Amino acid sequence: MNITFENKRVLVTGAGKGIGYDIAKAFVKCGAEKVFALSKTKANLDKLAAESPLIVPVCVDLGDWNAARKAVESLGPIDVLINNAAVAECDSFFDVKPESIDRVFNINVKSVINVSQVVAAGMVQRKTGGAIVNISSQAAQAALADHVVYGATKAAVDSITRCMALELGEHNIRVNSVNPTVVWTEMGAKHWSDEKRSKPMLEKIPLHKFAAIEDVVHAVLFLASNKAAMVNAVTLPVDGGFLAC
């Protein structure tokens, strides 16, 4: 299957490292006209942009609603949006602090709506349609210890995916989510490098392995491409079967 994004302008949030970094590079490889890589830390974005002249860094804190909105508005037309940026703060239920709830919801939920509003409004106005892929998590649909806040934000992302798909479908804008299991990035390693946590999780995953970054990237490329033209409002697990078993 040949997936191409020729003539497409793509925005990937959280592209400074981890999964988003590789998603941005993959869109370039698949022929995208331009890839906007949005993230908070300039040094990370500079490293990514140095790898490809087609990648345009956008350095902004998604936690700042107005600044993020202005930055995304300034990019011009976007055909494909990948809402990948997120933060994880993992505390047990009784240890959760209100500031942590606000911080995590602000990035993982509020900023997804903010960026998507700007991008989707442009798609509607230009009558071009488009594709939006939200990076959710297995934690949206399964109870994981110390994931009460993070899991709630990802459950919200799944709901946002379905509601956006419902409201934007008439404009030929598809909205889907990818829900990975543990991926060995900075975020993944922070929580799961403790064997007391990772061992039982690996035992519960039927394939007995975590997801590679590439596994997530491939699912994103498919859902964002016209090969998935009839796929809409799904939350696609990339979890080795964890959620189903």
Active site residues: 150
Distance CA 189, CA 46 (A): 24
Residue type, 185: T
Nearest approach, Cβ of 105 to ligand NDP (angstroms)?
12
Nearest approach, Cβ of 13 to ligand NDP (angstroms)?
6
Closest to ligand NDP by CB, 124 or 142:
142
Residue type, 33: E
| DSSP summary character for residue 233 | S
Q: In what order do the strands lie in the sheet with 9-13?
A: 55-59, 34-39, 9-13, 80-83, 130-135, 173-180, 235-238
Nearest approach, Cβ of 172 to ligand NDP (angstroms)?
25
Nearest approach, Cβ of 45 to ligand NDP (angstroms)?
7
Tell me the β-bridge partners of 236. Answer: 178
Closest to ligand NDP by CB, 17 or 197:
17
Which run of H or E residues covers position 156? helix 148-168
Joined together, the tokens standing for residue 208 give 């007995």
Residues that bind ligand NDP (CB under 6 A): 14, 16-20, 39-41, 44, 61-63, 84-87, 107, 135, 137, 180, 182-183, 185-188
Distance CA 216, CA 212 (A): 7
Nearest approach, Cβ of 103 to ligand NDP (angstroms)?
9
E strand residue ranges, the chain: 9-13, 34-39, 55-59, 80-83, 130-135, 173-180, 235-238
18-29 and 213-224 helices, crossing angle to 10°: 50
